[in-house]
Amino acid sequence: MKKVIKILLILSIAILVFLSIWYIKNHLIELYYYVELVKIYLQSTVKCCPAKAIAIYSSIYVLCAIFAVPVLMPLTLFGGMLFGTMIGSVAAIVSSTVGALISFLLIKKFLLSFMSMKYQHVTQEMSFWIGQRGVFTALIILHFLTVVPYVIINTIAALLGVSVPLFIATSLFGSAPVMVVYAFAGSQFTTLNSVSDIFSPTFLIACMLLLCFLLLPSIFYKYK
């Protein structure tokens, strides 16, 4: 019975992969041109009112960071596509730090007991792990991992009594490399002028860097 289930599972996965490849092959050009139209529209809007566009983008980013909405990676990719690597990454770094700081202060002032109970199991394990490595190094690593939500990092920092300057420093230095890679990957979408550009060296490098950061948590948990 178990062998039959395994065979059926493998066949199901194989069929799913085949159908996915078939669908992508038949709809890639259509999808590409749709994305291209959206990209052109957004870029023209940004060129008309760059300051306003950055302000709106940063405000949305800050709100998402405060309320722990799990969209910071796609938002950073989007920022790289709209504003380029430099402006996109700076906007993301500053916005994420501001949002994280506001969240940290709110937790520290009003929600510390509630958040510590809600994430009790996670915060206990993390607090022990941080104690072994030092607060600054540990918080930097948690930011590098990207899969640890800001709300948990902020709660742990509040529980440990981390000072505001130290929190800002770890948020800035911890998020900077990740945000730069995401913004760079997002900026490469603007270089796609045809379907064949998907396989250009620069675009593939951006995808590889993005993949490396996405694999960091698995590597960390394996060798920690």
pLDDT in tens, 58-84: 999 999 999 888 888 889 988 988 898
Task: Tell me the helix, strand and coil percentages in the chain, rounded to 5.
Answer: 90, 0, 10
Distance from C-alpha of 132 to C-alpha of 130, rounded to nearest angstrom: 5
Residue among 64, 82, 80 at smallest CA distance from 72? 64
Mean pLDDT (the chain) is: 77
Mean pLDDT (whole number) for 3-18: 66
Residue among 141, 138, 57 at smallest CA distance from 96? 57
pTM > 0.85? no
Mean pLDDT (whole number) for 91-111: 91
Sketch the domain layout of the chain as residue ranges: 1-48, 49-223
Digit-coded pLDDT (tens) for 158-195: 888 889 999 999 999 888 888 888 888 788 776 655 54
Confidence band, pLDDT 50/70/90 cuts, at residue 31? low
Cβ burial of 121 (10 Å; 0-12, 13-18, 19+) is exposed
Q: Determine the 3-state secondary structure of 74 from DSSP.
A: helix
Q: What is the DSSP letter of 217?
A: H
